[in-house]
Each structure stands twice: as C-alpha cells, then as structure tokens.
C-alpha cells in the first residue's frame, strides 16, 4: 500500500531525530522546544515534520543538549571501527598538517603540493581517529589507488563504491559521482569524511554529497586550495584551510628540484593555413558576439553560437583548431626527439586530449594511461615503469590529479586545457625526491597560436625563476 | 540517455517556458539517411562513425535534432573488438620492447615475431579495444526512423527532468504506478485530489529539495516519463534550469512519449493469486485492482483492492495486504484508517512476517494468513448473511 505517512507531534515526547535519505528528520518533539531556531532546521510541510541537512547533526544535538532538552538520537548507524593492523609513518610536515587539523576540531582543509604525500595525511587521519571513514575521490582510478594505499599502509581492506561496485566497509572509498548518487544511504554510516582534491567542491556542483553526510570529522586534501570567493561555502562544508605549504617550501628537501624548458615550435605551412582559416572563422563569430554583449562569457557565446549555422560552424572550427594544436607535426617530431634524448630516463608525456595521447602512443610506442585502459593492465604497466621495463607513459588527464605515479625525471607537456591548476598538478608528478635528482619539464608551445598566452599564464602560476624559453 | 548538451540543443526558453523541438514525422527522411550511414559503416571503427554522423548532422536541415538522433544511433549500433592478437597482450609486448633504443618498425617486427602475427597486425591491434577504435556492429533488430525519433524525444525529456528542481504531475489513471516508483526512488510524493476533475496532483521532490534547488532527484523523476504513457491523461510541469535560466517545462497528453513496459498489475504473486482465487470463489463480487485513492488524515491512501458487489455496487470493501509489519505500524495504520472513517476495510496480515514482539492492536477485520490468503475468510466478512 502506498501512502503518505505523517504523524502528529507528540507533546510529551523527547526530541526524536532520525536519518532520512541525507537529512535529519524530527517527527516528534515537545511543544515547548523551538526547533525552527536550530542550525539548518526547517519545517517540512510535505511530511509535517522538521528537517535539516545531514551535516547539521552535531550542531543540532549540541544546541538541544545545551538547552537541556532530552534527545532520542537514532541518526547515526555507524559501521564498526576499522581494525587497523599498522599505522603509517609520517614526514614532519605531514605530522604538522595532521596536528593542525586536530587542533581545528577535526575539520578543515590541508593544502600540500602534488607529490608530497597528501593521501598519507588522509590515511594517518583515519589511523588517528580509528573510526568508520568515507573517502571521496574524483575518479574510479583513484578509488583503486586509495584502496591499495589503505591496504598497504593500514593493513585493512577498503570498501569501494563506484563504477558499478557497491561494497561498504569500515573504510570505504567512493567516487564523487557515486557519493552524489548514494549519500542518501551512506550519509549516516561514517564518522570521518575525507575529501581528496577538495577544491572541486564549494561551487555548488555535487555539494549535496557533503550536505547529506552527518560525519562530524572532515578533512579536505588539495594541492591547489581555491581562492576565497566570499561565500565560504567550502569552509561551511569541510572547514577552513588549516595547513598549507607551497611547492617552494618542500623543493630540494621533500620535493625534487626542477627546471622547466619551454620549446617554441612552428606549424607546417599546411597546418598554418588550416589553423588560420579555423581561427578566423571562430574569431569573426566571437567578435560579433562581443559587439552584442558588454561582458562576454564563454558559456553565453556557446549558446548564442549554437542558434545559427555560422555560429555552429564557428564552434566546430574552434574544436578543430584545438584538435590540430593538440598534436602538430612539430610537436610529434619533438616528442620523438625528446624521448630519444632521454632514453635512459623515465618520462611522462601529458597531452590535452585522450585522442592525442593515443596518437602519441601509436606513433612513438609510448604506453597510454587513459581511462580506457583497465586497472589490471594499468597497474602492470605502472609496475613495469617503476621497474624500468617501460620507459615512458602518455596521458591526457588520468595522471594529472592524485594518481600516484612512480618516480619520473622528465615531463613533456604537449598540451593542456585546464590552465594553471592542471599545470601545477602535472609538474608535481615529477617532483618525487631522490638524492641528486633534478626534474626536467618540457612544455611544447606552438608560436603564433593561442598556446603562447596559455603558456605565459601557466608559467606565472608556477612562480618565478625556473623557466627557460627556447 | 542522451547528453545534456545534445538534448538542450533542442530546447529554447521563451517567456519563462521551455520550448522543445521534438523529432517528428517530418524528420523521418533525415533520420533514414543517418540510419543508412550507420549501416554502411558496420565493421568500421566507432571513431569514423562518430565523425561521419557529426558531419551529416551539422550539414542536415535540423542539426540539433540530428545530433540527439546520432547519440541514440550510437547506442543502438553496438561495437566489438576486432584484432589479430589481443590488444592487452600486444601492448604488454610492444611497450616493453619500445624501451630499447630501436626504431618503431623494428620494435613492431620483433613484437610480431613474438606474437606470431605481422608487424602491421601488431600496430593495428595496439589500441583496437579502445572505445573509439572498436568496430561498429549492426543491431539485432531493424532500426526505424520512428523508433529513433521516440528514443530521441525520451532522451530530451529525461535530460530536461534531470535539470529539474521541482516536479508536479496531474494524472488520471495509473497514478499508483507513479507514486510507487517515486517512493521506490526515494522521492517524497504528496498527493492531492484535484477539485475540478478526477485527476490527482502528485508533487514530487526529494528530502533535500526543502533547502536548495537541487538536481539530485532529476534522474529519478526522468524515469517517470515512460510510465506517463500508461496514464489516461497527464500534465507534468517541472521547474528546470535551461541554458542557465530558470524555465518551466510542460509535458502533457499528446506529446511524443516513448512508452516503457506496462506497469506491473500486481506487486506480488500473493496479490495475483488472491485476485484469481477470490474471483472464482466469490463470483458475485468484482475484484478491482488499484481502486481510487481514499483521503485519510489530509493525505491519500492507495488500497490494494476494492471488492464490489455486482448487483449492489454500494456494497464495497477495501482490502489491504500487509507484508512485513510491527505492532506499532499496524496501530498507526488502523488509527489513520479509523480517522478517515473508512468502515469497510479488511486488513490481511502475514502472520509469519511479524517484525517486533509488541502486542497487537485490537482490531476487527484483520485476516491472518500464511503463504496465501484464503478467499473464504474474506467472503465470510463481506457476506456475513451467507456465513
């Protein structure tokens, strides 16, 4: 029988809080208690009850307890604490980051450069708290990696949630996407929430996952904390930045020194002709749009352009132009030359698109690490790379963020589309320290194209004094 | 499912309302051309199919509609890996050999010798399992422009609902299936009888919708669309965000909807069996599945069955089957039913599925059953004179 259930308020009852699909629901409460003033609490006329987002569980219970109100709290249904076999060893700055987080009341964001062991800080937080923990990571590849690291560092098997797998354990790793879809079931089962690459949150998209979770302890990890935007949304959801170290502070000690060489390349005559035609097609539409709109936005332009045939042609021209620049003949030849020159080193090649990565793979026989390659093969190839059997890997985005790449000395950035943050992440892939190591990052930039301005912005993002333009 | 980008290409906003450019009979020639293009590319890499369809869509009379259709076609035409040697094995050999200082051709030849195939076959196999390099295969059943148009329209409607923050449906008939689906998918569904007609107004939202405009429940509401096709009349209105602007999307009887499977008539074998056995045991009674909802305590109750006497339709009994239960649950249910002044109601309670040890609330017309409901017990209640 389907029906809408609602129960009348019970004037004699204690305040009864339960978990209802990512929210806290109060069906019974004494008349004397003013629930509407509690943090996040609102009257829900649909079910004739009071309701609040899950993340307000702690503040609501505290507020009620402070008022001397008895609370029947059946919100949490936590999993058993993980039985940890061993604890991870931390470097000094990792311990300091963890202490700062503890002092901040187990809420906050730790910002450490790529390659400095952020994952280990998260895992140490689990070991310290010894409570059921949900780790959110951006991709399914990182779910696998976090699970492996948790198994190795703590000696427990982690549950996985994502890409069709739904396995809940005291320590569970989930993709953002599956957390978004399933937090209504998972939200009350964990006491610690760790959010890897936390800068993806706080802008509205997928924030519901963090809203629906009742875990009081929250740790955000990132290499690139977002600039404050006045809303403090991330601070509300996870906490403030409690510890931050820039690359410079670790370079030479915990991170390897590096040089960045920018190689300016030319298009062939044919490529130049095609490029200029595509660029002109696009810029004429863009200029028409700019004449119409005082402060032009890219998303508005795309909508405007999609309405007319010339506009659609301009969008296609823009895509084709990007595709052409992603791997020009000069870039391809230079990749070949650089891989040959650094034959004895371990190299990582970064492209702007998966298609370009696959073309590099076939043309230069470099193993691609893309989302299309399955975990077992990826792991085998990364192990081979670590052992020196495979000399180079090429990737568009998989290796950008979080993925624990074995030690590499040479990076070749063939193209990028995600600005300074992506570039910082990529350079960070090369900075795993080794005695005497000095990493070398080549950036291939095509003259007379949009790439020169993009490279300029990226260079500023990394800080001064490490770039040589050739 | 089609991508939001393609689907929203068929939508515009005028005066705060979403205007959808559905695929119709007039698109049949263009769709037929796209289908023929797909058929001609069976055996080719998916990448080529994708490019050719994109070019054809852009050059066609209605690029936005064709773009949605191309996405549907790419789902309809599957793909498979074709290679002389397993791509995973080829990569394992080639990329290891490539670490030596050797020319590309030499590496491929050495790999070919190891794998027992030619160098060209090794090169072709290297990425043959990637989604873009797999080969197009023909679907088992023939593809028609009509079926592609229907699936495209469904994709557009579902993409719009995925971007919805609030949905209301006024519906005549089959409302139970919609309420049931909404509840199964974790939506909160409030039901009201429309004053001026026989229809029900269902408002669908999620727990978190109280606090913010969220798209969290868009997928669940999108799944309702195929069910609407089984309603006599309906009108769905949704608050959406389209092209960055809030807009109202309306879907109503007569719009092109791709029907899903007919909603199940019975929720369980127990119900089906009861309907059959009661019909034969009490030929004077009609067994009506999914009767009109009953108002109770400000909400609506959907009884499982209505038993109505053929000669005297004023003799009506509502019958409700209770599976898992607790004493508290039954107590609340009976309280609500009494509040609604529903006199002729029979509760059939599974004696084996008791979930707590509390005492049972006192109530008449509770029929206990194990495994199946004995129709003679029910007849004894509805026909006391015969008993």
pLDDT in tens, B37-92: 999 999 999 999 999 998 888 887 888 899 999 999 999 999 999 999 999 999 99
Q: Name the burial class of residue B310, with classes exposed (0-12), middle (13-18) and buried (19+) by CB atoms within 10 angstroms of its CB.
A: exposed
Distance from CA of A253 to the nearest CA of B (A): 31
Max mean pLDDT range (B149-163, B177-191, B284-298) = B149-163
Partner-chain contact A380 B92, CB within 8 Å: yes
To the nearest 10°, the Cα dihedral for B72, B76, B77, B78? 110
Q: How far apart are CA B293 and CA B236, in angstroms?
A: 20
Per DSSP bridges, beta strands B245-252 and B233-242 are antiparallel
Inter-chain residue contact B304 with A47, CB threshold 8 Å: no
In chain B, the residue whose alpha carbon lies closest to the alpha carbon of A385 is B96
Among A2, A5, A363, select the one facing B179 at the smallest CB separation: A2
Q: Is the dihedral of CA B255, B260, B263, B267 positive or negative?
A: negative
The answer to whether the CB atoms of B96 and A3 lie below 8 A apart is no
Residue A425 has pLDDT above 90, yes or no: no
DSSP string, A173-196: EEEHHHHHHHHHHHTTS-SEEEEE
Residues B259-275 pLDDT 10s = 766 667 777 788 888 88
Angle subtended at Cα B63 by Cα B59 and Cα B69, rounded to the nearest 5 degrees? 115
CA A254 to CA A161: how far, in whole Å?
Answer: 33
Q: Which residue of A has its CA nearest to B305?
A: A1
Tokens at residue A13, please?
Answer: 């009852």
Q: Give the integer Cα–Cα distance in Å for B30 and B35.
A: 9
Q: Mean pLDDT in chain B?
A: 85
Q: B190 and A4 in contact by Cβ < 8 A?
A: yes
Please give the mean pLDDT across all residues of chain A: 85
d(CA A134, CA A6): 32
H helical segments located in A241-328: 247-250, 269-292, 298-305, 309-326
pLDDT > 50? residue A2: no
Q: Is the Cα dihedral B6, B7, B13, B16 positive or negative?
A: negative
pLDDT band of A359, cuts 50, 70, 90 = very high
pLDDT tens readout for residues A114-131: 777 888 999 999 999 999
Q: A264-283 pLDDT, tens per residue?
A: 899 999 999 999 999 999 99
Q: Give the pLDDT confidence score for residue A75 in this predicted structure.
A: 93
Q: Inspect the interface and report whether the beta carbons of B58 and A312 lie closer than 8 Å.
A: yes
Mutate to test the interface with B, among A2, A185, A319, A357 (most CBs of B within 10 A): A2
Among A149-158, B41-50, B118-127, B285-294, whose mean pLDDT is lowest?
Answer: B285-294
Among A25, A208, A316, select the one facing B216 at the smallest CB separation. A208
CB burial class (10 A; 0-12, 13-18, 19+) of residue B260?
A: middle
Least confident of A349-358, B55-64, B132-141, B199-208: B55-64
The Cα A79–Cα A132 span in angstroms is 6
Residues counted in chain A: 470
Q: Which residue of B has its CA nearest to A364?
A: B104
- The three-state secondary structure class of B360 is coil
The structure tokens 């107004």 sit at: B201
Q: Is B301 on the interface with A (CB under 8 A)?
A: yes
Taking the Cβ of residue B191 and every Cβ of chain A, the question of whether any pair is shorter than 8 Å is answered with yes
Residues A129, A192 contacting (CB under 8 angstroms): yes
Structure confidence at residue B370 (pLDDT): 84
ipTM of the complex: 0.71
H runs (alpha helix) in A342-409: 354-364, 375-386
Task: Give the distance from residue A23's alpha carbon to the nearest chain B alpha carbon, in angstroms.
Answer: 7
A146-153 long-range CB contacts below 8 Å, 24 or more apart?
A146/A119, A146/A173, A146/A196, A147/A173, A149/A119, A149/A120, A149/A123, A149/A404, A150/A123, A150/A126, A153/A86, A153/A87, A153/A88, A153/A120, A153/A123, A153/A127
State whether B131 and A372 contact (CB < 8 Å).
Answer: yes
Distance CA A234, CA A222 (A): 12
Measured between beta carbons, which residues in chain B are less than 8 angstroms from residue A51? 207, 210
Question: What pLDDT sits at residue A419?
Answer: 63
pLDDT, tens digit, for every residue of A282-291?
999 999 888 8
Q: Which of B216, B296, B324 to mutate to test the interface with A (most CBs of A within 10 A)?
A: B216
The verdict on B155 touching A (C-beta cutoff 8 Å) is: no
Helices B46-59 and A309-326, interaxial angle, to 10°? 150
Candidates A336, A350, A343; CA nearest to A441 is A350
pLDDT higher than threshold 90 for residue A427: no
Phi, psi of A419 (to 5 degrees): 70, -155
* Under 8 Å between Cβ of A24 and A54: yes
pLDDT tens readout for residues A167-201: 999 999 999 999 999 999 999 999 999 999 999 89
B residues 55-114 lying closer than 8 A (beta carbon) to A: 58, 63-64, 88, 91-92, 94-96, 98-99, 101, 104, 107-108
Determine the average pLDDT of the residues in A362-381.
88
- Across the interface, do A368 and B127 touch by the CB < 8 Å criterion? yes
Distance from the B364 Cα atom to the nearest Cα atom in chain A, whole angstroms: 19
Query: Smallest Cβ distance to B91: which of A300, A340, A367?
Result: A367
The CA–CA distances, whole Å, from A36 to A388, B66, B383 equal 63, 51, 52
**CB within 8 Å: A365 and B98:** yes
Interface check for A2 against chain B (CB to CB < 8 A): the answer is yes
Of B204, B201, B243, whose CA–CA distance to B222 is shortest? B204
pTM score over 0.80 = no
- Confidence band of A68 (pLDDT split at 50, 70, 90): confident
Instruction: Check residue A251 and report its DSSP letter.
Output: B
Distance CA B254, CA B9 (A): 22
Extract the tokens encoding B174.
Answer: 């089959």
Give B 2-31 residues with CB within 8 A of chain A.
Answer: 9
Cβ neighbours of B107 in A, within 8 Å:
365
CB A101 within 8 A of CB A194: no
Q: Structure tokens of B278? A: 């009661």
Higher-confidence residue: A12 or B247?
Answer: B247
């Amino acid at each position: 029988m389907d029906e809408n259930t609602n129960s009348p308020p019970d004037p004699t009852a204690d305040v009864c809080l339960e978990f209802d699909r990512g929210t806290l629901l109060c069906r019974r409460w004494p008349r004397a208690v003013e629930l509407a003033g509690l943090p996040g609490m609102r009257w829900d006329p649909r079910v004739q009850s009071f309701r609040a987002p899950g993340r307000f569980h702690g503040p609501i219970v505290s507020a009620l307890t402070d008022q001397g109100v008895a609370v029947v709290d059946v919100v949490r249904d936590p999993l058993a604490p993980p039985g940890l076999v061993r604890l991870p060893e931390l470097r000094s700055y990792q311990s300091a980051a963890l202490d700062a987080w503890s002092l901040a009341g187990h809420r906050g964001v730790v910002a450490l450069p790529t390659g400095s062991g952020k994952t280990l800080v998260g895992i140490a937080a689990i070991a310290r708290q010894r409570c059921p923990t949900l780790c959110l990571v951006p991709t399914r590849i990182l779910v696998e990696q976090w699970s492996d690291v948790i198994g190795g560092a703590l000696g427990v098997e982690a549950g996985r949630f994502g890409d069709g797998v739904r396995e809940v354990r005291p320590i569970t790793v989930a993709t953002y996407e599956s957390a978004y879809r399933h937090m209504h079931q998972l939200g009350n089962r964990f006491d610690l929430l760790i959010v890897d690459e936390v800068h993806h949150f706080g802008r509205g998209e997928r924030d519901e996952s963090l809203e629906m979770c009742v875990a009081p302890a929250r740790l955000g990890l990132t290499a690139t904390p977002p600039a404050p935007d006045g809303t403090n949304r991330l601070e509300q959801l996870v906490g403030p930045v409690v510890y931050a170290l820039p690359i410079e502070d670790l370079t030479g000690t915990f991170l390897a020194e590096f040089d960045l060489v920018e190689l300016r390349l030319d298009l062939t005559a044919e490529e130049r002709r095609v490029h200029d035609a595509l660029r002109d097609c696009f810029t004429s539409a863009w200029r028409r749009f700019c004449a119409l709109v005082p402060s032009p936005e890219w998303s508005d332009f795309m909508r405007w352009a999609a309405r007319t045939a010339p506009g659609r042609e301009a969008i296609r021209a823009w895509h084709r132009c990007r595709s052409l620049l992603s791997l020009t003949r000069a870039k391809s030849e230079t990749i070949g030359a650089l891989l040959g020159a650094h034959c004895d080193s371990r190299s990582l090649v970064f492209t702007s698109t998966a298609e370009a990565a696959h073309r590099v793979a076939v043309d230069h026989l470099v193993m691609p690490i893309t989302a299309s390659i399955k975990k077992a093969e990826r792991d085998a190839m990364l192990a081979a790379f670590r052992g020196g059997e495979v000399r180079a890997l090429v990737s568009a985005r998989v290796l950008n963020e979080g993925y624990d790449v074995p030690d590499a000395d040479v990076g070749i950035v063939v193209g990028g589309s995600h600005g300074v943050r992506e570039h910082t992440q990529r350079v960070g892939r090369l900075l795993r320290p080794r005695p005497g190591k000095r990493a070398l990052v080549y950036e291939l930039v095509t003259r007379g194209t949009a790439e020169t301005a993009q490279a300029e912005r990226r260079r500023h993002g990394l800080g001064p004094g490490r770039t040589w333009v050739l | 499912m089609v991508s939001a980008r393609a689907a929203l290409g068929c939508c515009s906003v005028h005066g705060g309302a979403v205007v959808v450019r559905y695929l119709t009979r007039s698109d049949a020639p263009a769709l037929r051309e796209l289908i023929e293009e797909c058929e001609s590319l069976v055996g080719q890499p998916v990448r080529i199919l994708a490019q050719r369809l994109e070019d054809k869509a852009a050059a066609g009379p209605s690029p936005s509609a064709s773009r949605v259709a191309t996405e549907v076609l790419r789902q309809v035409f599957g793909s498979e890996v074709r290679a002389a040697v397993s791509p995973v094995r080829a990569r394992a050999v080639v990329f290891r050999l490539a670490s030596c200082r050797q020319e590309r051709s030499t590496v491929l030849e050495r790999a070919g010798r190891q794998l027992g195939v030619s160098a060209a076959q090794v090169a072709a196999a290297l990425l043959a399992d990637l989604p873009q390099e797999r080969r197009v295969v023909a679907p088992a059943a023939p593809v028609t422009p009509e079926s592609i148009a229907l699936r495209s329209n469904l994709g557009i409607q579902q993409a719009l609902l995925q971007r919805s923050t609030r949905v209301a449906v006024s519906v005549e008939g089959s409302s139970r299936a919609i309420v049931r689906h909404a509840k199964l998918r974790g939506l909160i569904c409030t039901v009201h009888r429309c004053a001026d007609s026989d229809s029900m107004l269902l408002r669908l939202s999620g727990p978190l919708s109280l606090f913010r405009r969220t798209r969290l429940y868009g997928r669940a509401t999108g799944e309702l669309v195929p069910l609407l096709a089984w309603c006599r009349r309906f009108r769905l209105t949704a608050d959406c965000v389209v092209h960055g602007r809030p807009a109202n999307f309306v879907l109503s009887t007569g719009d092109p909807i791709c029907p899903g499977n007919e909603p199940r008539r019975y929720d369980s074998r127990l119900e089906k069996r009861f309907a059959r056995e009661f019909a034969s045991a009490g030929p004077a009674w009609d067994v009506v599945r999914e009767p009109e909802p009953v108002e109770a305590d400000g909400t609506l109750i959907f009884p499982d069955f209505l038993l109505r006497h053929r000669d005297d339709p004023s003799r009506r009994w509502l019958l409700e089957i209770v599976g898992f239960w607790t004493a508290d649950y039954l107590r609340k249910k009976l309280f609500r039913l009494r509040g609604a002044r529903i006199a002729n109601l029979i509760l059939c309670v599974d004696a084996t599925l008791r979930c707590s040890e509390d005492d049972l609330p006192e109530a008449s017309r509770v029929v206990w059953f194990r495994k199946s409901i004995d129709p003679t017990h029910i007849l004894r209640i509805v026909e006391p004179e015969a008993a």
